[in-house]
Amino acid sequence: MEEYSNFTFQQMRDDVQKHFAEEMSQHKLFKVDVDVEKLWHTYLDAYPEEMQTNYKEARWQDCTSCHRWFKKMSNVVALDNDGNMITIFSCNTLPQYQNILNQLADMIIGAEITEVFLSSAKEIGHKTTYSKDEFGNVQRNDHFYSILPDKVIRQGIQVGRNKDKYHTARELLERSLNEITIEALDIVVDLINENNLYRGNEWKTQITKFRSLKIAYDNTDNDIRNNWLWLKSMEAGIVISGIKNHSIGVLLKDLSNDVDLEIALQRYEHVVAPANYQRPKAIFTKKMLEDAKAKVTELGYLESLPRRYAIMQDVSINDVLFANRNLSTNLKDNDLFAELEKDAVVKHKTFDYTEAISIQDFIEKVLPEAQEVSLYAETMLANNFVSLIAPVNADAPSMFKWDNPFSWAYRNNVADSMKEQVKALGGDVDVDLRFSIRWNNGLTWDKNDLDAHCTTPDGEEIYYSHMKSGKTGGWLDVDIIDPKEGKPAVENIQFKNRVDMLPGEYLFRVHQFSYRGGDEGFEAEIEFDGNIYNFSYPYKIKQNDYIDVAKVIGNEDGEFELVNLLDSIVSNRLIWNIKMNEFAPVTFICYSPNYWGDNEIGNQHIFFMLNDCQNDSRPNAWFNEYLNNELHEHRKVMEALGTKAKVEESNNQLSGVGFSLTQQNLFKVKVLANNTEKIYQIFV
């Protein structure tokens, strides 16, 4: 059988080895679940019948060396870049052997991959051995053998460990791909691109690669998915394959399971972010933006989005508590204005004593007789300045919880009070004495590092380097070093119990620890006995400068007295064209739009609109708490949109000073009624 000889076997064997070295070894190598003994016997049985007599003795091709090679190499396969399987027998060879190799390859193709192929030996099998026949002649015997590429060689126990590692990566990749949706990946990519995800940039590369894998996996036929997973898990590595088990996986799995975005982000930040981390801006994605736009369009609110300052002609006399007849002649429905007019002639003005009165008594007992009202514009009311906002399109429907299209915005777009912002950062506001400061609250990013300081009666300094006082109980419990863009920075010094405090003067001031270009100063609050006192310093603070804000003097009985140290500095300051620390004429007084007509929704405010008061910024068009419930699911996009859709600039506007009737406050007004001027101190 010259057709089958050691020489022709050698040629076939070399073809198999060349195929393994030049084609298979260029790809990733694996082992499949196939019966190698069955492969061995199929190989033997494929030879012509006349070569199969005297089994185990007469068949020269049946040798121990080749059998061992079959056990170790016959089930080794490679996967090409498309996941197609290449067996070690998938090669071209001599015609008499081709059918044998084809049979073996057919038995292997389609078998399930069970592990990555690794070995501690460089060579498998023996290429050539020599023996003597019965006559003593030396015979050459060629066998199956393989030289392995360096990439599959491992030392000793590392073979098993590395196989386990690759198997784990393949299992993790499959679970990650099945548990994480493309929608969740797109949301996270958007968050990273918008710089809205804490430490998100650290994951951008991995998520981008995983997203590509997810798309390919979803488009891969089921019959080759196992091959594909083995191949891609080796290429991707353990981090990307096991992305579901990393910190970013907490967010991806929550989003894949339709957890609310805000809740999902909180859970993620709980894992990776410091306790006082605050996101820089409202969170929304491209899909959320598209959904919100579709909803706004469906509800007919597109025409309601453009906003402007309200003017006198917008407001009905029915919604006004008081109107100065000399300053409010353009009120809407002014034919009803005569009902509020008083015919008395002013002969002279006399000042009576200052009378304390509640806001409700003022509205019910004083305003009905009032002819003129002026409000004393104290600097501590700086954050109470407010503008009334109307739609550009007068016929646009209301997208708010109340039935009219009007809204309002306080100075610097303060939606949350300083007290609420301190509380949100973990500061204690349920205390007997509180000093809070706020900066980075304007249109530009103020990166300065301002510090709140308090000097106690015995000279002890409470500040960032000595945050807690054992003698007075004072505590700096919120300290901000690096203000974030678009996020007001606050600090808080609090005294929990006045019984622990020393009698005497407590000096509160602000220190410029690090000047980084911000020139808009700061705002401050001091609260005690249920009263909040506001302060504003709108000027540049130089490096290492201290600005004295106020003193609080405590006596032996635990009573506090406030001494304002900023008034002399800012006494001539203008806020919104209103000179501070002087009486400003009130054009009219009204409740906030959520209490106009039959509306009684949410917190009630009262507005004192001032003559010639002009908002010098561009306030938010609305805040989310105003929007009706139909827009609740789109609140993140609407919040961002309210920031972007700034109110049109105009000198013709209704602006003044406002007070929430749910927050304690004190202010003074001067009222002309029945030819007599009287000053009232109103408490809210």
Cα four-point dihedral sign 372, 373, 377, 383: negative
Residue 115 confidence class, pLDDT cut points 50, 70, 90: very high
Q: Which two three-digit tokens encode residue 606?
A: 């009262």
Higher pLDDT, 575 or 279: 575
Q: Which of 91-105, 140-154, 417-431 has the lowest mean pLDDT?
A: 417-431
pLDDT of residue 48: 74
Q: Which two tokens stand for residue 60?
A: 């020269």
Cβ neighbors of 597 (< 8 A, separation 6 or more) are 318, 319, 403, 404
| 287 contacts 186 by C-beta, under 8 angstroms | yes
Share of the chain above pLDDT 70, in %: 88
285 confidence band (pLDDT: 50, 70, 90): low
pLDDT number for residue 201: 86
Name all domains of the chain by residue range, CATH numbers in brackets.
6-152 (no CATH), 173-273 (no CATH), 307-412+582-683 (no CATH), 416-570 (2.60.60.30)
Range from 98-107, 169-178, 334-343, 402-411 carrying the lowest mean pLDDT: 334-343
Q: Which residue has the higher pLDDT, 461 or 625?
A: 461
Most confident stretch, 196-200, 333-337, 611-615? 611-615
Say how many Å lie between the first and final Cα of the chain, rounded.
114
Instruction: State residue 150's pLDDT score.
Output: 94
469-474 CB contacts, 8 Å cutoff, 24+ apart: 471/502, 472/500, 472/501, 472/502, 473/497, 473/500, 473/501, 474/501
- Predicted confidence at residue 291, as pLDDT, reads 74
Residue range 610-633: average pLDDT?
83
Query: Residues 389-409: pLDDT tens digits?
Result: 999 888 889 989 999 999 998
Distance CA 565, CA 506 (A): 12
The answer to whether residue 50 scores a pLDDT higher than 90 is: no
The pLDDT-based confidence of 611 (bands split at 50, 70, 90) is very high
C-alpha distances in angstroms, 656 versus 242, 384, 428, 609?
58, 8, 31, 4
Task: Using pLDDT thresholds of 50, 70 and 90, give the confidence band for residue 278.
Answer: low
What does the pLDDT read at residue 181? 93
Whole-angstrom distance, CA of residue 374 vs CA of residue 582? 9
pTM reported for the whole predicted model: 0.50
Give the pLDDT score at 57: 42
Residue 433: pLDDT over 60 = yes
Percent of the chain with pLDDT over 90: 49
The span from the CA of 548 to the CA of 406, in Å, is 40
Residue 332 pLDDT greater than 90, yes or no? no
Q: What is the pLDDT of residue 346?
A: 32
pLDDT at 275: 55
Query: Quick one: pLDDT band at residue 60, thresholds 50, 70, 90?
Result: low
- Output b/e per residue, 556-585; b: 16+ Cβ within 10 A: eeeebebebbbbeebeebebbebebeeebb
* Least confident among 286-290, 535-539, 673-677: 286-290
Q: What is the mean pLDDT of residues 286-310?
A: 79
Residue 174 has pLDDT above 90, yes or no: yes
- For residue 548, the SS3 value is strand
In this predicted model, what pLDDT tens digit does every residue of 214-244 receive, in sequence order? Answer: 999 999 888 889 999 999 999 898 899 999 9
**pLDDT given for residue 443 in this prediction:** 59
As given in the structure block, the two tokens for residue 431 are 């205390």
Instruction: Round to whole Å and give the CA distance between 572 and 587.
Output: 22
Q: DSSP label at 577? A: T
What are the residues facing 389 on neighbouring strands? 309, 407
- Token representation of residue 12: 């076939």
pLDDT in tens, 64-87: 889 999 999 999 999 988 888 999
Residue 657 has pLDDT above 90, yes or no: yes
The pLDDT, as a whole number, for residue 350 is: 38
> How does 70-92 read in b/e, with b if 16+ C-beta sit within 10 Å?
bebbbbbbbbeeebebbbbbbbe
Tell me what the mean pLDDT of segment 131-137 comes to: 79
Structure confidence at residue 462 as a pLDDT band (50, 70, 90):
very high
What lies within 8 Å, CB to CB, of 54 at 6+ separation is none
The H or E element that residue 172 is part of is: helix 158-179
Mean predicted confidence (pLDDT) in 80-107: 92
Instruction: Please give the C-alpha separations between residue 333 and each of 308, 371, 589, in angstroms, as whole numbers.
Output: 21, 19, 16
d(CA 48, CA 59): 11
Confidence of residue 342 (pLDDT cuts 50, 70, 90): very low
pLDDT of residue 3: 80
| pLDDT over threshold 60, residue 479 | yes
- pLDDT at residue 573 in the model: 66
Q: What is the pLDDT of residue 1?
A: 43
The arithmetic mean of pLDDT across residues 458-473, rounded, is 94
Give every CB contact of residue 171 below 8 A, 6+ residues apart in sequence. Answer: none
Q: What is the pLDDT of residue 567?
A: 61
The closest alpha carbon to 230, from 241, 246, 222, 243, belongs to 241
Mean pLDDT of all residues in the chain?
Answer: 85
Identify the pLDDT of residue 197: 84
Residue 589 has pLDDT above 70, yes or no: yes
What is the rounded (10 degree) CA torsion for 184, 185, 188, 189?
-150
pLDDT: which is higher, 81 or 379:
81
From residue 155, alpha-carbon distances to 160, 172, 327, 376 in Å are: 10, 25, 93, 86
pLDDT over 60 at 339, yes or no: no
Give the model's pLDDT for residue 600: 92
Alpha-carbon distance of 303 to 405, in angstroms, equals: 11
Both tokens of 544, joined, read 């290492």
Classify residue 445 by burial, with Cβ atoms within 10 Å: 0-12, 13-18, 19+.
middle
DSSP string, 194-218: TT-STTGGGGHHHHHHHHHHHHHHH
Whole-number pLDDT of residue 627: 86
Which whole number is the average pLDDT over 279-289? Answer: 61
Q: Which of 30-39, 51-60, 188-197, 291-300 has the lowest mean pLDDT?
A: 51-60
Q: What is the DSSP string of 305-368?
A: S-EEE--GGGSBGGGEEEE-TTT-TT-BTGGGGGGG---PPP----B---EEEEHHHIIIIIGG
Average pLDDT over residues 657-662: 90
The arithmetic mean of pLDDT across residues 541-563, rounded, is 93
DSSP string covering 433-481, please? Answer: EEEEEEES-SSS----EEEEEEE-TTS-EEBTTB-B-TTT-EEEEE--S
Q: What is the pLDDT of residue 214?
A: 94
- Grade residue 286 by pLDDT with cuts at 50, 70 and 90: low
Give the other-Cβ count within 10 Å of 502's Cβ.
Answer: 16
**Residue whose pair of structure tokens reads 């300045």 in the numeric block:** 385
SS3 410: strand
Whether the per-residue pLDDT at 55 is higher than 50: the answer is: no
Rounded CA separation 144/121 (Å): 15
Q: Which amino acid is at 408?
A: W
Residue 41 has pLDDT above 70, yes or no: yes
- CB neighbours (10 Å) of residue 505? 14
- Under the banding of pLDDT at 50, 70 and 90, the label for residue 58 is very low
Instruction: Report the phi/psi class of residue 616: left, alpha or beta, with left for phi > 0 and alpha for psi in -120 to 50.
Output: alpha
